[in-house]
Amino acid sequence: MRPGNPLRGTSSVPGDKSLSHRAVLMGAMADGVSHVRGWLAAGDTEATLASVQALGVFVERHDEHTLTVHGGTMRQPTAPLNFVNAGTGIRLAAGVLAGQPFPSVLDGSEQLRRRPMRRIIEPLRLMGADIEAVNDRAPLTIRPSKLRGVRYELPMASAQVKSAILLAGLYAEGVTEIVEPGPARDHTERMLVSMGADIQTEGNVIRVTANGQLRPMDMTVPGDISSAAFLIVAACLVPDSDITLTNVNLNPTRTGILDVLQAMGARLEIHETGLEAGEPVGTIRAQTSALRGVEVGGDVVVRMIDEFPVFMVAALHAEGETLVRDAKELRVKETDRIAVMAGELRKMGAVVEEREDGFRVVGPQRLHSAEVQGHDDHRIAMSMTVAGLVAQGETIVHEIRCAGDSFPGFPQTMMQLGANVAEGGAS
């Protein structure tokens, strides 16, 4: 990519990844036929869909984004389930499969095998689950067992861990109670409410009790704010830009990036237009903005956890100091996103101070072109593309293809909005 062209126009973004994983997994658990439109057809969610199909669940695919899930009957898979790079897929599925009367093996790519699984193994074992894992890493071998409800205080704010426990709770005897240290995304809770589950949230405590069958759902998945964030930050940074993104999920547990960008002086206009799948959706207009540095810590961190790679790019272009703390979870994502982003941005001349639980930068910094790597981490590859749009000269991002794990067509969307991006070559 090269700098110079403004981003202008209206676009939508692909369906929400978190909701798309949940739609197929929870559709498989439901008693009946669920209809899902706007489903995200991307690397991560396709892996979850394939695993659900390997569990004997019949899924009709009307087109890439329109599915009918015939839920209610899962059976023993004939081979290990392969979640490829999908942390959400494997962790949520572990909760579901802990409650099934057949054994299963859950596995994935080398990258997924490096990610911590103790965070789900421990609470599921407390519930009585029989899970075997060498060094608390995938592959996970799950054998049938009788589950019971527990009260569990989450050691970290994590929607994946919370969801694994809630889904297992639907197969457990008694009440399952979770105490959250912070407001992690609540898509599982919202979906369970719409499916008629016995679930209540009171402050930071969530209770679920198995009450028989789950109703199937009929939903349209709204656009993913985590995908929108790359376009929003690009529009804020590239001169003369003015873009509008329609039908974006505005669930307040996901909109931390909008709050923080606005606190930095970003010119954003956000209009809620309605509800989709029990989630507020709306339109976001983003224009070129003069950003100021900001301090980020506490509860907002989990509300923007996937946006820190692109936020680092924004912070480098803001006037003054930006300090991020309480974000050590970034080190156990697809990659160590603090170290990897700092390392790639340094190739472009950036000065980034890494901290154990965040980072500090002082801006504005003028970046120069470089050849950078995507590290098989979609959000790294897309963030470096945004960095390249405001760097001097021509930047090459290798492995941009991994953007397709969450945002298929990312380079094309950038091009449609007018960015000077070309895709090509072997990597």
Residues of this chain that bind ligand S3P (CB under 6 A) = 18, 88, 158-160, 163, 184-185, 305-306, 329
Rounded (10°) CA dihedral 378, 182, 264, 363? -60
CA distances from 189 to 19, 90, 177, 186, 380 (A): 11, 18, 13, 5, 29
Shortest Cβ distance from residue 259 to ligand S3P (Å)?
A: 17
Shortest Cβ distance from residue 167 to ligand S3P (Å)?
A: 11
Q: Is 306 annotated in the active site?
A: yes
Rounded (10°) CA dihedral 115, 119, 124, 129? 40
CA distance 217 to 26: 9
- Whether 249 and 224 have beta carbons less than 8 Å apart is answered as yes
State whether residue 294 is helix, strand or coil: coil
Shortest Cβ distance from residue 317 to ligand S3P (Å)?
A: 24
Shortest Cβ distance from residue 185 to ligand S3P (Å)?
A: 6
User: C-alpha 94: how far from its chain's center?
Assistant: 18
Q: Between residues 52 and 367, which has the closer beta carbon with respect to ligand S3P?
A: 52
Q: Is the peptide bond before 77 cis (omega within 30 degrees of 0)?
A: no
Instruction: Write down the number of H helices and E strands in the chain.
Output: 13, 24
Q: Between residues 69 and 243, which has the closer beta carbon with respect to ligand S3P?
A: 69
CA distance 119 to 178: 14
Q: Between residues 160 and 322, which has the closer beta carbon with respect to ligand S3P?
A: 160
Candidate list 44, 107, 186, 306, residue with the active-site label: 306
Shortest Cβ distance from residue 332 to ligand S3P (Å)?
A: 8
CA distance 351 to 65: 41
Q: Between residues 45 and 369, which has the closer beta carbon with respect to ligand S3P?
A: 45
| Residue 303 tokens, joined | 């509300």
The residues assigned a catalytic role are 306
